[in-house]
Structure 1
């Protein structure tokens, strides 16, 4: 079992960490408890929390007599602290079978945990947290749930994505301006000229990518060809060429994620006059128009394919097709129609204001 769990037991002679009760402390607890001292008095004497004393007396009593025996309690505590412990899935074949069954039905671990409470409302042995299921899939090298069950997870990941505190891998982008410093008018989609952008990447072998940019007001899509790879210089150059073709009133800001392909954002701003803002790490919801459009683009450029096979003309045709697709939020107008209307209004206003 130890090999399967990927760990070794704690040596019998190992010293206790100071946060754990020592054998001498347990002897003092037994003496004071037998003399009628309260738990708070015992805690003050040992400089421990009253809850620590309460848990110790509740957990480590002799199960036969119900009396607290310090040496016996110390042995029980040592065995309880040994690692690794067999997981709940490993020690409960019935629970493991149900989790396997529901994973094969493509339920998420959270749905499985909730469904078990509904299916077995009075059976505490059939309770499990979604975190325990994830650990059984990802943590143990030869865990209780077989490798092929990972394929039934919606994410299709072979390794778990870390949560919580992460190291910042984007410090190489100098002088970033946060999305929180963006003009307030960007939030409402009422003012045209504010864009969201990102890369969609091809197969690892091809190291290919396409830069995608979406205007928030109209949903107008611009695709940038990257035949020279997706390094910072190549991306800045390709985006500058594409975005410079737009009217200045339609090209005010660009919000990007924190990928290092935008490390040359200052060069892009100098060439186009478009201010670049960076979304928070791991926050695709801050670029919803671009994320939605990238999903649509995968119909034309599937994951794991060589995107370098798509020429500049191919990308122009794909963008044109998307820009002529009616959108519900535009009252079923197309992005191209909205853009044309904006161009007409700008021309009319320009003529009206001419001397």
Structure 2
């Protein structure tokens, strides 16, 4: 790929050739000085001086006296040896402990390479000489130097250019538009603003997963409801309000959803419970990007077409806990769970939160 707008200056020099070394040897024999040779070859005097020093060796005469002389072949041999030794050397054999940890976390716990690198640096205290950066780790995976392969990295193998197509909105927002959402929620400055979506299973009559993601901490909750009916979503929030009591509207200050039929009663029920519901613009899933990211990670374990009613509650909790304990670069590789707990403790006891999470 060519870059027209760049600030990198092109290097104008080139290394001495074998023919030039031969000329240097002959001119030295004829008594030329360093500057005279440089002028003849159109080179810097410093370049000639270094080459002469590089190729000069001590010789012995028949009377056992010694003298120094430049040889083109010697200069070339020393140059090639130096070139072979220059450049940064691979640390592959020096970071074995780090690589074993990375392979386990990526293959078994489904961490990303960046999460591994950040966690090792921030939490485990690996020094720079005992680990590599994210870019190097990706490069080694691509070269096949680890047990991990690109096929084991879900995002890397499925990213592809997308064709964008303008769509005309046919759906009107079912309640308050996201444009009315306060800046404290938009900027993630205040705790308690959530995004919501549903994940369907194999059949329309199957159970449905409801995913909730808190915008500030990225903490996620997963609930199972009987069907994709608005009444089921309404009943879920009524149940959560019964558990949290008067602290409900401090934990759930607002919830943002799309315009799906299952959320048609969301704004109304939240308003009755002392909270606020907001709706994104039609065909604008990016406006609930935090929740969409959570759904993408969950789909690694609960793919489309899998019957949700046949998934055990323990398995769903395990996926939820994996998501919340994942190290995040945005939090300097702390987890969402750590951030969420520090916020929720100012509102209610952790035991109350555990009751909420038991509703899976």
Taking structure 1 as the reference length, what is the TM-score of the superposition? 0.47
Taking structure 2 as the reference length, what is the TM-score of the superposition? 0.47
Structure (1 or 2) with the larger CA radius of gyration: 2
Structure with the largest fraction of strand: 2
